[in-house]
Structure 1
Amino acid sequence: MGKGANLVPDVEEKSVSGETKIFKWSEIRQNKWIVIDNNVYDVTNFSKKHPGGKVILLNNVGQDATDAFTSFHKDMNKVEKYLKALKIGKVVAESDINQKEERKDELHKDFQQLRKLAEKMNLFKPSPWFYSLHFLQLIVLDLIGTYLIYKSGYENWFTYFIAVACLVTTQAQAGWLQHDLGHLSVFKSTKMNHFAHKVVICAIMGFSSDRWNNRHFKHHAKPNAIKKDPDIRFSYFYLLGKKLPEEVGKKKKGWLPYNLQQFYFFFTLPPVLVPILSVLEMYLYMIRYMKIMDMLWITLYYIRWYFMFVPSLGVLGAVKLSFLVRFFQSYWFIWSTQMSHLPMEVDYDQDLSWFRTQLITTCNVEQSAFNDWVSGHLNFQIEHHLFPTMPRHNLYKIAPHVKQLCEKYGIEYQCKTMSQATFDIYNCLKESGEIWYEAYNS
C-alpha cells in the first residue's frame, strides 16, 4: 500500500546499526503508528499537539494515511519539521499481499496521478473575483435585511419576513464561505485563510472556528464511519445505514420508534441543530478547551447584532430574530449537506483506499446555477471530498476525470437530481428504521 511517488521528504530514521528500521503491517497496527508514503510515523505523543486535533490522527492509526495526509495539508514545507521528528522507519512490502491489496495500491497510484493532473490544470488556484463577489453578496443581503428591520420593525409583517429571508440567506451563504476558508481554499496564505475564517464564522455567524475545524475534518477523514464520523452520531435519536440498526435491534434497544424516523426526523433535528445543539456544543467545547480567542471573536457577532437590531426590536425582539434566522438556516444547512451523505453507505471503518471511501459514502447532485448557489457547490460533494483544498468553483472541472477513474475500477459514481437526492433522505431513514424494527421483533 502507498507505493506511489514520494509525497513527503525522505528523511531516514536510522537504527543504532545505521540501517533503516523496517516494520511489518502487523507491528504498525499493534503499535498504532501511521504510514505515509511507505514511511512509518509514531504519532503517539504528537497527536495531542496536532493542530487538527488528536482524534483525526488516532482515527487513522494502523493504516496508510498517504492520501488523507496530502488531501488535508496544503503546505508540505510547513509539516516537514513535524515529519522529521516522528519518522521511525519504513513499512515492508509483505510477500503475501493479496489481489485486493494490489488493486488498492494501483488505485492509490492512479489517484495521485489525478491529483497531479488537477495541479497542472491550476484547479487549486482560487479566483479572487469569485470570492470577492461572494463576500459582497453577504454584505448587500445583510444591509438590506438590517434596513428593512430598521424601517418597519414588526409593523409590516411582510417586510419583516423579507428581512428574515435576506438574513437567512446571508447566514447560509456565509456558511459556505467559512467552509471554503476552513479548507484553506480561498487565499494562498494559510494564515490569511485562518484569519478570514474567524472573521466569517465567528464575527458574522457567531460560531467557533476551532470547534468547526475539529469536528469537520473528522468527518472528512472518515465519512459515514460509525464511531469516527461525528456527523452521524445520533444513535439515540436516529439509526443510519444497515449494520447499526440491525445491531441495535438485536440487542432489543430502542429509545424511540426508529421505524418512524423518516417522519419525525424532519421535525426534530433540523429545527434544533443550528439554533440550539450547535450553540450548546460550541460553548461546552470552548469552555472545556479554553478557546479564549474564539470567545472574543464571537463577542463581535453579539455586539454587531445588538447595534443592528436592538434599537428597532428591543433585546427580546433581537433574540427572537436571531433564533428565527438560525431556525431556517438549520433546515437549509441539513438539506444541502445531508442529501449527499445520509443515503450513502454507513458502516464501521473498513480501511479502504481514500478514493473508494469517499465514493461509497458521498454522492453528487446535478449541476445548475441554482444547485451550485444554494449548496455552495457542495452538489459536487464527491470532488470536494477527494480534494478538500480545491476551490469550489473548480470542482466541476475535475469531475469528468473522477468519473473516468471510477469507470476504470468499477466504482459507482452517483449523481442525482435535487428532487431524488431529497427523497432519498426519506428513503434511507425508512429503510434503516425497518431493518431495526425487524431485528428488534425477531
Structure 2
Amino acid sequence: MSDTDFGATKGRGSEFAELSRLVRRAGLLDRRPAYYTIRMGVVTASFVGAAVVFVRLGESWWQIVVAAVFAVILTQAAFIGHDAGHRQIFRSRRGNDVVGLVFGDFLTGLSYGWWVDKHNRHHAHPNTEGHDPDIVVAPLSFTTRQATARRGLGALFVRHQAKLFFPLLLLEGAHLHVNSIKTVLGSGRLQYRLTEAALLTLNLAIYVTAVLLVLSPAQAIVFTLVNQGLFGLYLGCSFAPNHKGMPILTEDDDLDYLRRQVLTSRNVRGGWLIDVALGGLNYQIEHHLFPSMPRPNLPKAKPMVRRFCADRGLAYHETTLIRSWAQAMGHLDAVGAGRSSPPLARSS
C-alpha cells in the first residue's frame, strides 16, 4: 500500500461521519421488511420443496442431486442468518435473534451465538494480526509469521496450501458444525444456550433420521458427504473473496475506521446473479463500513462510497469473482513459498 493509504490518520475520523450522514440522508440504513419477508419465504419454500422431493424420490442415487440443491438452500439460509446477526432485518435485537436462531441453528445446524461473536470480532479488526479470527484458521497460514511457526506436516501443507484451499473447503461444513456444538456445550458466554442446544439437537435428529429412513446406508453416507461438502465449499467460496489477499494489518497500523474497513476489503462485481449467489457479500466494502445496512441497499450505496473514496484518494478495490479467487490463492501461494504477496491491481 502507498504512504497515502497508510499515512497519518489524525483528524480523519470526521470523514466517515461525513459519509455516514450522506448514507443516512439517502435512507440507505432504513430497514427493508418486505424484501426480507420475500427472501425468507423463498428460502423456506425452497427448503420444504426440496424435502418433499427427497421423500418422494426415495431410495435412489438421484438423491445426490437433491443433496447439492440442499447445499445451495442451506447456504442461502446462512446468508439470512448473517444479515440477522448484523441487525439488518429488524430494528429490534430480539426480532433479529429469532430469525438468526431459526435460519442458523434450526435450518443450517450452526450456532448463531457462536457465529455472531466470532464475526463481530472480525468486523472490529478486519485482516488484523492477533485480532481477526478469520485469519487464524489452521492449517492455513495467512502471514509469514504463521507460516514459519508451522512444523512437520503443517509446514508441508502450508507450502501447498493454495492448491489445497478449495479441497479443504469441502470440510468447512463439518468444521462449522463441530465448533457450534463445542460452543453450546462449553462454558463460555452464550445468550441463548438452552435454545441453541435444543435447536441444534433437533436439526441433527431430523437430518439423521431422514437420511436413514429414506436412503440405503450407502446412499445416506454419500448424501451426507455431498451435502455437507458442497455446503462448506459454497459458503467458503462466498467468504474467501472478501478479504483474502487484501492487506493484512498489524497492531502498529494506526488507521481510522474508514481506511481500516476499505483498505482490507474487496468488492466483487458481476450483476444480479453474483448478488444472489454471494448473498450481498460481494459489496464487502459497503457492508464493512455499514454492517447494519440491509442487503438490498448495498448496491445503492456503492456509487456513493466509491465516489467518496475517489475524492479522497482512497483505494477502492473491486474485481470479478474469478480474479478475486485468483488474488486470494496468489496470496496463499506467496505465503507458502515464503515470499511477499504480489501487489494487487486497483479497480479501474
Aligning the two structures, in what range does the TM-score lie when normalised by the shorter sequence? 0.7 to 0.9
The question of 1:272 aligning with 2:171 is answered: yes
What one-letter code is carried by the residue in structure 1 that aligns with 2:275? Answer: D
Match of 2:160 among 260, 274, 279: 260
Which residue does 2:307 correspond to in 1? 404
Q: What residue is the counterpart of 2:103 in the other structure? A: 200
Letter matched to residue 343 of structure 1: G
Match for 2:27: what amino acid?
N
TM-score w.r.t. the length of structure 1 is: 0.69
Pairing of 1:2-401 with structure 2 (within 5 A): 101=8, 103-106=9-12, 108-155=13-60, 157-158=61-62, 160-234=63-137, 237-240=139-142, 244-245=143-144, 248-249=147-148, 255-257=154-156, 258-268=158-168, 270-275=169-174, 277-289=175-187, 291-305=193-207, 308-313=210-215, 321-349=223-251, 350-401=253-304
Alpha-carbon shift at residue 323 of structure 1 (Å): 4.0
Q: 2 CA distance for matches of 1:129 and 1:310?
A: 38
> How far apart in 1 are the matches of 2:50 and 2:66?
4
Is 1:142–1:166's contact at 8 Å kept on the other side of the alignment?
no
Q: Secondary structure at the match of 2:106?
A: helix
Determine the C-alpha separation between the residues in 2 that align with 1:175 and 1:336.
11
Per-residue displacement from partner, 1:26-81 (whole Å, max 9, x unpaired)?
xxxxxxxxxxxxxxxxxxxxxxxxxxxxxxxxxxxxxxxxxxxxxxxxxxxxxxxx
What one-letter code is carried by the residue in structure 2 that aligns with 1:180? D
Partner Cα distance (1:305, 1:397) in 2: 39
| Matched residue, 2:3 | none
Q: Which amino acid aligns with 2:66?
A: A
Give the partner amino acid of 1:365: V
Tell me: higher relative CO, structure 1 or 2? Use CA pairs within 8 A at least 6 residues apart: 2
For residues 371-407 of structure 1, give each alpha carbon's deviation from its aligned partner in whole angstroms, at most 9, with x where no partner exists: 0000001100110011000001101111122112222
Paired residues of 1:346 and 1:361 also in contact (CA < 8 A): yes
The separation in 2 between residues aligned to 1:147 and 1:317, in whole angstroms, is 18
Task: Write the distance in 2 (CA, Å) between the matches of 1:187 and 1:248.
Answer: 42
CA offsets per residue over residues 270-324 of structure 1, 9 Å max, x none? 011212x222222222222262221012223234435654431268855653443
Q: Which whole-Å deviations, capped at 9, do the CAs of 1:388-432 have from their partners, x for residues lacking one? A: 000011011111221122223322101101121122222111122
CA contact (8 A) 2:106 2:199 kept: yes
Q: Which letter maps to 1:357?
A: R
Identify unmatched segments of 5+ residues in structure 2: 1-6, 341-348
3-state SS of the aligned residue for 2:91?
coil
Q: TM-score scaled by structure 2?
A: 0.86
Could you tell me which amino acid in structure 1 is paired with residue 269 of structure 2? Answer: E
Aligned CA RMSD, in angstroms, stands at: 2.4
| Paired residues of 2:125 and 2:132 also in contact (CA < 8 A) | yes
Structure-2 change in CA distance of 1:132 and 1:248 (3 Å)? closer
Q: Is the 8 A contact 2:147 2:155 kept in 1?
A: no
Alpha-carbon contact 1:202-1:301 (below 8 Å) kept: yes
The one-letter code matched in structure 1 to 2:214 is S
Task: Report the CA distance between 1:189 and its aligned residue.
Answer: 1.8
Alpha-carbon distance in 1 for matches of 2:335, 2:94: 43
- Is the CA contact 2:109–2:204 (under 8 Å) kept in the aligned structure 1? yes
SS at match of 1:105: coil
CA distance in 2, matches of 1:298, 1:246: 37
Provide runs of 4+ in structure 1 moved above 4 Å. Answer: 251-254, 306-310, 314-320
- In the alignment, residue 289 of structure 1 is paired with which amino acid? S
Report the Cα distance in structure 1 between the residues aligned to 2:109 and 2:219, rounded to whole angstroms.
Answer: 18
SS of 2:242's equivalent in the other structure is: coil
Of residues 316-325 and 280-289 in structure 1, the stretch that sits farther from structure 2 once superposed is 316-325
Read off the aligned partner of 1:426 and give its amino acid letter.
M
Structure 2 match to 1:419: 322
Per-residue CA shift, 1:11-31, capped at 9, x if unaligned? xxxxxxxxxxxxxxxxxxxxx
Alpha-carbon distance in structure 2 between the residues aligned to 1:375 and 1:144: 22
Distance 1:430 1:162 in 2: 33
Identity of aligned residues (%): 24
Q: What's the CA shift for 1:133?
A: 1.8
1:252 positional shift: 8.7
Instruction: Report the CA distance shift for 1:181/1:436 in structure 2 as closer, same or farther (over 3 A).
Output: same
Task: Give yes or no for contact 2:170–2:232 (8 Å, CA) kept in 1.
Answer: yes
CA-CA distance at 1:209 after TM superposition: 1.2
Question: Quick check: 1:184–1:193 contact (8 Å CA) kept in 2?
Answer: yes
Aligned partners of 2:283 and 2:239: how far apart in 1?
11
List gaps (5 residues or longer) in structure 1.
1-99, 438-442
Structure number with greater Rg is: 1
| Shift, 1:120, TM fit | 1.6
Cα separation, partners in 2 of 1:129 and 1:367, compared to 1, 3 Å: farther
The answer to whether the Cα contact below 8 Å between 2:64 and 2:222 also exists between their aligned partners in 1 is no
- TM-fit CA distance, 1:179: 0.4
